[in-house]
Amino acid sequence: MGQDINLSETRKKIGFALDPDGLYDSMTAEENLGFYAKIYRLADPGQKIAELLEAVGLKDRARDKVGTYSKGMRQRLALARAMTHNPEVLVLDEPTAGVDPSGQIEVRQIMLDLAHKENKTVFLSSHNLDEVQRICNRIALIDRGEIRLYGETDSLRRGMGGGTVEIEIAGEIPQTLLNELRSLPQLGLQEKQGTRLIFSPREGTEVSDIVSLLSERRVKIEKAGRQEASLEEMYTAILKEVEPK
């Protein structure tokens, strides 16, 4: 026989911040966290509640009713509520949806602090691929209930053909040199935007190869680097693969 699983203990190891947020408008922030502290049978929740409210930047609004909170404040309090019982794993569903830009920054920083300072495992579900790309170190792209892509974010981006190479130059480039660059298919010159050249090189062509060629032509280079594929580009490519022909 396998070992019995204590579901009650398992639940205590997981915290959720979903939509709706599970907060009560007629109660203050302290009362909301206190209510959930009772559910989890915390012996002396007072200090824990104060620490959580300070961590999410709501210490000064602790005794205000949640019905007066902005969307961003509610999202931060929902994160605090999910942390009431100090779980090992957090499951967050669209935690920055409907939040203004400054609020998004605050919520993202809280998530990063939970992962890096509190050593929590954070599962983030979001349609905001730019946000996912910025804060997640491992991703799964799901389409119609199936996982289409899974792995470490940086490795996946590198594996999508290396993205583009952008080179910032000083001054103008002679038309004759532009024509030469366009005649070399391995470089994959895509466009010229002012003093910036954008390449989509073939496999085997490195940034250093392009830089060396330009240097030989006496072009002064200010900056050069590879822009790896974004999650949005990866997701678009995956959708194209699974679309019916």
115 contacts 108 by C-beta, under 8 angstroms: no
pLDDT for 44 equals: 85
The separation between CA 172 and the C-alpha centre of its own chain, rounded to angstroms, equals 37
pLDDT for 142 equals: 85
Q: What angle do CA 118, 119, 125 make, to 5 degrees?
A: 100
Please give the average per-residue pLDDT across 215-244, as a whole number.
77
Please give the average per-residue pLDDT across 114-118, as a whole number.
91
Say which residue, 242 or 187, is predicted with more confidence. 187
pLDDT tens per residue across span 76-110: 999 999 999 999 999 999 999 888 888 888 889 99
C-alpha span between 173 and 192 (Å, rounded): 10
pLDDT for 103 equals: 84
Decide if 23 is inside a domain. yes
pLDDT for 2 equals: 46
Same domain, 130 and 204: no
Longest Cα pair distance anywhere in the chain, in angstroms? 78
Residue 229, classed as helix, strand or coil, is coil
pLDDT for 161 equals: 53
Calculate the dihedral angle through the C-alpha atoms of 236, 238, 243, 245, rounding to the nearest 10 degrees: 110
- Give phi and psi for 164, each to the nearest 5: -115, 165
Name which of 40-54, 71-85, 199-213 the model is least confident about. 199-213
Percent of the chain at pLDDT exceeding 70: 89
Same domain, 21 and 62: yes
Q: Is 176 exposed, middle or buried (0-12, 13-18, 19+ CB in 10 A)?
A: exposed
| Total domains in the fold of the chain | 2
CATH label of the domain that carries residue 217: 3.30.70
Half-sphere exposure of 51 (CA within 13 A, CB side): 10
Percent of the chain at pLDDT exceeding 90: 45
Residue in this structure with the two tokens 């398992």, named with its chain if needed: 10
pLDDT for 91 equals: 95
Decide if 151 is inside a domain. no
Same domain, 74 and 113: yes
Domain that holds residue 197: 164-227
Decide if 235 is inside a domain. no
**CB neighbour list of residue 185: distance below 8 Å, 6 or more residues apart:** 202
Quote the mean pLDDT of the chain: 86
pTM score of the predicted model: 0.67
Please give the average per-residue pLDDT across 30-54, as a whole number.
93
Name which of 81-85, 152-156, 174-178 the model is least confident about. 152-156
Residue 21: how many other CB atoms lie within 10 Å: 20
pLDDT for 228 equals: 67
Decide if 122 is inside a domain. yes
**Between helices 71-82 and 29-39, what is the axis angle to 10°?**
30
pLDDT for 130 equals: 82
Decide if 141 is inside a domain. no
pLDDT for 7 equals: 44
Decide if 220 is inside a domain. yes
Decide if 146 is inside a domain. no
